[in-house]
Structure 1
Amino acid sequence: MPRPVPRRCSPPWPWPVCRPIGFSLPAFRRRNRANWRAFCAELAPLPATLVLFEGVSRLDRTLAALAEALGPRDAAVCRELTKLHEEIRKGSLDDLARHYAEAGPPKGEVVLVIGPPPPPVAPADDDLDERLQALLDAGESVNGAARRLAQETGLGRRVLYQRALALGGDSTS
C-alpha cells in the first residue's frame, strides 16, 4: 500500500495514495454562505485533483456540500498525515459525508483530496449525427457545429468537423 512521505508540508504527501493528474490548492476560503456557493461553483469545472484544508468540526457538512456541488467524485480524507495516528479514508464524497456524519468528527488535522470529475460519456454515433444535423439545419456553420458539440461532449473538434462534412455540411458556410 502506498504511504505518504514524512515532511513538513501536508498537501503533496497524499499523492502516492491519490495519483493526481495536475492539481489545484484552493485551501483557504471565506466561510459565509454566498462565498461558499461561489467557491464551489468555481471548483466544479476544474479538471484537476483538488486539495483543501478543513476544520474537523465542520468536516461532515463540508463533504456533504461538496458532494452536492461537485457530484460523484472520488475523494480521500487524510488525517494526521506523517504522524503516529495517520489515517486515510477513501470513497465518494457522499460516502465520506455519511461516514463522518455518523462517526462524528475525527481528531487532528485534515486534508481533503478530491479527484477530478469523471470523463464525459461520449454519445452514440447515431446521436452525434442527429445533433450535428440539428445544428446544421438550424443554420450553424460546419465549424461552429463541430466546435459547439466538441465543447458539449469532450470529443475532438476535427473528428466532429469531418462527421459534419460527411453529413452534407458545406465547409464554406
Structure 2
Amino acid sequence: MGGTLVLAGTPIGDLADAPPRLAAELSAADLVAAEDTRRLRRLAQGLDVQVTARVVSYFEGNESARTKELVQALVGGARVLLVTDAGMPSVSDPGYRLVAAAVEHGIRVTAVPGPSAVLTALALSGLPVDRFCFEGFPPRKQGERLARLREVERERRTLVYFESPHRLADTLAAMAEVFGAERRAAVCRELTKTYEEIKRGPLAELATWAADGVRGEITVVVEGAPEPGPADLSPEELVRRVRDREEAGERRKEAIAAVAADAGVPKREVFDAVVAAKNAPR
C-alpha cells in the first residue's frame, strides 16, 4: 500500500509554538528528512523527544537527488517526516519536488499544521487580509527584481514577500519605485522571537528606515493596488479587460458593454479602443 509522507510545520521562532503532534510524529517516523539536521537535533532536544529514526539532510543543494531516495522509502512502506528550518515545508523551502513525486507514485501525503511566517505577518500587518498572494523572495539582481515587481504592479490583492536583511532596503526602494512611494506596507521582523518588530508605513518611508540596517528574518507585506477610477484606465487596459471576458466565453458585444459599465465610460470609447488595437500594426 506504500507509506506516508508527513509535512511537519516547525516553530518560526518561539519553540512553545510547536504543534502538539510534532513530537509524536518525530517519535513515530521511520525516516526524517530535515533541511538542517543540526537544527532538527536541537528542536527534538527542546521538545524532549528522542528521534530513533534515520535522519537525512534534504535541502536545496541535494533536493533533486535525495527525492528519489525518499520516494523509494515511501514506496517501500516507510513513514517519512519532512521538516524545514522554520514553518511549513515547500513554502519557499524544500518539499515541493518530494510532494509532487509522492503524489505521482500514489503515496499518501498529509501534514502537521504549524506556524507560518506568511499568515502571521498578514495578521499583524494591519493591511487587508481577505485576499492575498505570496511572492516568495524577490530576485537578487536589481533589473530582475524590478521586472518581477512590475508583473504585479496592478495586483489588487495584498502581497507577501520574504527578504534577507541585507537586501531589504534595496527591495523596499524598488517597491516604492514600482508600486508608488505612498503604497502602505509592513516589515515584520523576527516574528514570535524576543525582538519581534512590526514596522508599518509608506514604502518610501520604510526604505529610508531600512537603509540604516536591519537584522533578523524578514517578511514584507504590501498593500494591493487601488481600484482604478475611470480616468485611470488606459485604452490598453480597456482592451485587456474585454479580451479577458472574451476568453472567459462572453461575446465581444457583451464584453464591451460590461467593461464600459465597470469603468464608467461610454461603450463607444471601449469599442473604439478594441478596434484601434485590432488595426494596430504588428
TM-score, normalization by structure 2: 0.42
Q: Distance in 2 between matches of 1:67 and 1:37?
A: 10
Tell me the equivalent position of 2:197: 87
* Unpaired stretches in structure 2, ≥5 consecutive residues: 1-13, 18-113, 232-251, 269-282
Structure 2 counterparts to residues 6-155 of structure 1, below 5 A: 8-17=115-124, 18-71=127-180, 72-101=182-211, 104-122=212-230, 146=257, 150=260
Structure with the greater alpha carbon radius of gyration: 2
Alpha carbons of structure 1 residues 95 and 122: separation in structure 2 relative to 1, 3 Å: same
How many residue pairs match? The answer is 135
1:59-116 C-alpha deviation (Å, 9 max, x unpaired): 1111001110111311000000011110001001111011122xx2211101000011
* Unpaired stretches in structure 1, ≥5 consecutive residues: 124-140, 166-173
Worse-superposed segment, 64-73 or 12-21: 12-21
Q: Contact 1:57–1:105 (CA<8 Å) still a contact in 2?
A: yes
Q: Distance in 2 between matches of 1:10 and 1:99?
A: 22
Q: Distance in 2 between matches of 1:16 and 1:33?
A: 29
Q: Contact 1:51–1:112 (CA<8 Å) still a contact in 2?
A: yes
- How many Å apart are 1:40 and its aligned residue? 1.1
What RMSD in Å do the two structures reach over aligned CA positions? 3.0
- How many Å apart are 1:145 and its aligned residue? 6.2
Alpha carbons of structure 1 residues 164 and 65: separation in structure 2 relative to 1, 3 Å: closer
1:26-68 C-alpha deviation (Å, 9 max, x unpaired): 1134323442222011121111111111111111111001110
Tell me the equivalent position of 2:51: none
Query: Alignment partner of 1:41: what SS?
Result: helix
Query: Alignment partner of 2:201: what SS?
Result: strand
Query: Alignment partner of 1:39: what SS?
Result: helix
Is 1:156–2:265 an aligned residue pair?
A: no
Q: Distance in 1 between matches of 2:159 and 2:121?
A: 11
Alpha carbons of structure 1 residues 88 and 146: separation in structure 2 relative to 1, 3 Å: same
Q: Distance in 2 between matches of 1:32 and 1:164?
A: 43
TM-score, normalization by structure 1: 0.65
Q: Distance in 1 between matches of 2:118 and 2:255?
A: 41
Q: Which amino acid aligns with 2:221?
A: V
Percent of aligned positions that are identical: 33
Q: Contact 1:142–1:164 (CA<8 Å) still a contact in 2?
A: no
Alpha carbons of structure 1 residues 36 and 115: separation in structure 2 relative to 1, 3 Å: same
Q: Distance in 1 between matches of 2:134 and 2:205?
A: 23
Select the structure with the greater relative contact order (CA < 8 A; seq sep ≥ 6).
1
Query: Alignment partner of 1:108: what SS?
Result: coil
